[in-house]
Each structure stands twice: as structure tokens, then as C-alpha cells.
Amino acid sequence: MSNDTTLFLGQFLRAPSTIGALAPSSRRLAAAVCAPIPERGEPIVVELGPGTGAFTAEIQQRLAGRGHHLAVEVNEPLARLLAERFPTVDVAHADAARLVELLRERRLRQADVVVSGLPWAAFPRELQRDLLDAVTTAMGQGGAFTTFSYVHAVPLSSARRFRALLAERFEEVVQGRTVWRNAPPAFVFHARRPRP
């Protein structure tokens, strides 16, 4: 077991409702989730729930020194690890519900892309709504939001509720192919154009 997996598992056992997974995401899932990051310009990319940095590494590779990468992690040990591992990333040890405030504190305009590693299906209705409100308020009108769901979570009422919320909050929601080379297998939601 790698050090990241050991740390991730330990944090999951301490707080399963905020970690939501037993192991970090695979590179294939990271590539699928980070696909909307533009190849040009100076985009503002927000990452929610980066964990040990599987998506963080992919975002950094795609940005290649451009733009601004804000990673918001509520778990202190994971936030500390992330800041050490990725010194050029703006890591905020904070609740994702404070996203609009965090952007304002940094004098950043609205996010161009929001990449989420949050365990949406593990959250109660009100928390799902509050977090998605923060996401859509923080995004520009042409912004993109991506997140993922584990295949085994599809039948859960909380997962169905989250999919309905996505359709309610965004003009376009597309479900990507299943990434089988992830433990457990997962698929990506690509959402664009937040509704006011």
C-alpha cells in the first residue's frame, strides 16, 4: 500500500462523510475530470476536495504555470500534505461552502473551471444544495464544473438527488464514460453554463 493510500484510508476512517473514498483517484479518472481546463489563457481553476493530489497533479500539468489554481481542502492533514507537495498551488484549508469568500479574499474574478473531488453522494440534501450554490455563484457564466460519481453509488437516493440538482443548476450536464481503471470504477459529470 502506498503512503498516499495509507494516509487517505486513515483520514477516511476518521471522517468518512468528508473523505468519501478508501483510496486516491487514478490517473485515468483525473484526466477525465480535468478535461475542461483550457489549453490557452490564464484560467482560474478551483479544485474542491483535492485529497492527496491526484487531480491537483493533473491540473498543474495542464496549466503548465498559467493562471491560478486554488485547491480547497477541509481536512487539515491532507491540506498540509498538498501544500508541501505542490508549493505553487494556492492551498486553502477551508470549507468549500466558503468558495465565493475565498476567491474574493484573493481578489480573483469568478472561476473558469471548478473541479470537484467531493463525495456528493455522502452529503445530506442541505449540504449538497449549499455547496452547489457556492460553486455556481463562484463560476463565470461560461464556466465548467466537473465531478465524478462511483458506479456503485448510482442507485443511492442521495446520488439521484445530486444528479437532479446538477440538472437544475446547469443548462448542460453530460455524463462521461465509465472509468473502469479506478478503484472503485467511476464516471464523470461535465456541467456547463450555471443558471442564475
Give pLDDT tens digits for 165-179: 999 999 999 999 999
Encode pLDDT of 25-45 as tens digits.
Answer: 789 999 999 999 999 999 999
Contact call for residues 96 and 48 (beta carbons, < 8 A): yes
Of 1, 3, 62, 66, residue with least CA distance to 27? 62
The pLDDT assigned to 196 comes to: 78
- Is this prediction's pTM over 0.85? yes
The pLDDT assigned to 119 comes to: 92
Architecture of domain 26-194: 3-Layer(aba) Sandwich (3.40)
Cα(134)–Cα(183) distance, rounded to whole angstroms?
29
Whether 19 has a pLDDT exceeding 50, the answer reads no
Domain boundaries, the chain: 26-194
The whole-chain average pLDDT of the chain stands at 89
Phi first, then psi: give them for residue 23, nearest 5 degrees.
-150, 160
CA 106 from centroid of its chain's CA atoms = 19
Q: Judging by beta carbons within 10 Å of its beta carbon (0-12, 13-18, 19+), is residue 138 exposed, middle or buried?
A: buried
Sheet-wide strand order for 139-150: 90-93, 68-73, 44-48, 111-116, 139-150, 186-194, 170-179
Those residues whose C-beta lies under 8 Å from the C-beta of residue 36, and which sit 6 or more positions away, are 113, 144, 146, 190
Alpha carbon distances (Å) from 149 to 16, 59, 95, 162, 193: 16, 19, 20, 10, 20
Residue 126 has which C-alpha cell?
A: 442541505
Encode pLDDT of 117-149 as tens digits.
Answer: 999 999 999 999 999 999 999 998 899 999 999
- Band (13; pLDDT cuts 50, 70, 90): very low
Contact call for residues 126 and 102 (beta carbons, < 8 A): no
Pick the residue with more confidence: 77 or 15?
77
